Amino acid sequence: MKYSLEDKLYSIYNSVNPQVTEFKSAFIGLCLEIDRYFNQAFRIDLFETPEYKDYKTISNRSDFFSGMVYDLFLEYVGIYTNIRHLNAHLYLNYPIHISDELINYLSFKMIPDYKIAIDNELTIYGCFYLLCFFSIKNSIWAFCTNFFKSGYFIEIDKKEKSEFLLSMDHKAQSVCFPGKPMYPVMLEMNKTDYVFLTDIYKRSLTILFLHFEEILTKNKVVNSTVKNFKQLFYSNHYFDTKDDIINDIVEFRNLWFHGVLLFDTIHINGIDKKYDLEYALALLKKIKDSVSNVPGFDIIEKDLNDFSMCIYNYYAQSFLEVSYKIIDNRLFEEEKLLSRIGKLKRNYELIISNGDIFNAISNILKPSEMKFFIHPYKFKDKEFRSPLRSPLTIIKYEKDASINLNGYDTNENVLHFVDIGIEEEYQIDIDGEKLSNYEVVKEYSINVFFIIREIKKKEN
């Protein structure tokens, strides 16, 4: 079904369908970043009515808010809170009102491309437009790619989608806060990795909890109005109300709802704990065990599997992709060889150093269920490559001197790459020989998802 960006937001939320889930997921992801920024940069909780001193703190940091009177600022924050709540719960679909005064103020600061409101009720575009003024620059692009890429809007032509995304991002950044994302103090990975994994985390958990709400609401055995997420569990017969899993799920949802991200320090049961992937995956494992084989919860298991597969593929798929580009002669490019070998080394080190994460993933997703698919656009010949399945085999080749690939010196004496099972006619030469002229001298597993085979040239 196609929508218009000028449809009233609440009108498209009258039914529950995959499109609605995707829309709410994108909106809540942006709101999480906003909540987090205001909490950490200004120590301001946007769910509480901001005091005048809070208003002055924000207006001193933003040209947009510096000309806004306090009452108008309170209306703006109230609308933001409504957008946040509307998208954090699957079945909420009330209209969000905005005054003519605020519409005029916003329009003066940034000319809108579409209608902000109809009869003073926010449109889909109006919600995005309003959030831009509260956002930080780095968070807008993630929203645009998650929200507008879907192809659900009549205003976005497939051929011009990239230009549309860029124009939305460029315009929004002209009014954003100048701040940067509030990374944890002790970030244990580079920022590119962290941003990518955080985006997976936000989207996957949003869809998971919205699906939980959908199933629990549809299967209530208590005929009453349920006011919050925890009460939904007590209104169903699926879970023992004395079971700690309910508290675990609600606690997990609250971490997500209040903008806690990976590597933050959280306070649980009187102690501080680092919120990392292992902790998140352990909670997800408990959730999967609680819903396994329960009728109607298949979609929850799928969400958990999808989340695990996204995390796994983040570490493994790049390794697989670069292996293709080095070992497949059709993709080999001498001028890019050294940079690609650098990527191989980095990806291999990521896999070796994150054994605990792979072990945690294996508790949720069986290795036989893991599969890889690299889109043809990743390759210069645009050809489809057959997907591989887990466990992946990593070839290790080591020698005393520098390894030579297709006649080019690599300045490396050890090479790790994925065995992509490529036909001999398409293989590059490794030290003047095809892979078929090498033999396995040692084979061992590093975890359930990866096997290493050490090779050497066959004796003549």
Beta-sheet pairing, 408-409 with 404-405: antiparallel
The DSSP-derived string for 15-48 is S--HHHHHHHHHHHHHHHHHHHHHHHHH---TTS
For residue 402, the surrounding DSSP H or E stretch is: none
454 near 438, Cβ under 8 Å?
no
- pLDDT tens-digit readout, 49-105: 889 999 998 888 887 888 889 999 999 999 999 999 888 888 888 899 999 999 999
Confidence at 242, pLDDT banded by 50, 70, 90:
low
Mean pLDDT of the chain: 84
Please give the pLDDT value at position 354: 82
Mean pLDDT computed over 218-247: 70
Please give the pLDDT value at position 373: 66
Please give the pLDDT value at position 105: 92
Please give the pLDDT value at position 187: 59
Please give the pLDDT value at position 179: 63
Confidence at 182, pLDDT banded by 50, 70, 90:
low
- pLDDT tens-digit readout, 383-393: 877 767 778 89
Mean pLDDT computed over 419-427: 87
Beta-sheet pairing, 392-398 with 121-122: unpaired
Edge-to-edge strands, sheet with 450-457 = 414-418, 392-398, 450-457, 438-447
Mean pLDDT computed over 340-360: 88
Higher pLDDT, 449 or 193: 449
Q: What is the domain partition of the chain in residue ranges?
A: 9-173, 191-296, 302-457
Higher pLDDT, 216 or 150: 216
Confidence at 189, pLDDT banded by 50, 70, 90:
low
Is pLDDT of 223 > 70? Answer: no
The DSSP-derived string for 163-230 is HHHHHHHHHHHTTSBS------TT--S-HHHHHHHHHHHHHHHHHHHHHHHHHHHHT-SS-S---SHH
Higher pLDDT, 198 or 304: 304
Residue 121 in 3-state DSSP?
Answer: strand
Spatial separation of the C-alpha atoms in residues 324 and 318, rounded to whole Å: 10
Please give the pLDDT value at position 308: 86
Mean pLDDT computed over 254-269: 75
Is pLDDT of 422 > 80? Answer: yes
Is pLDDT of 185 > 60? Answer: no
Please give the pLDDT value at position 325: 92
Tokens (6 digits) for 253: 């949802």
Mean pLDDT computed over 165-177: 82
Task: Put residue 415 in one of left, alpha, beta given phi > 0 → left and psi -120 to 50 → alpha.
Answer: beta
Least confident of 106-110, 152-156, 398-402: 152-156
Please give the pLDDT value at position 225: 54
Is pLDDT of 155 > 70? Answer: yes
What pTM does this model have? 0.75
Please give the pLDDT value at position 397: 94
Amino acid in position 373: F
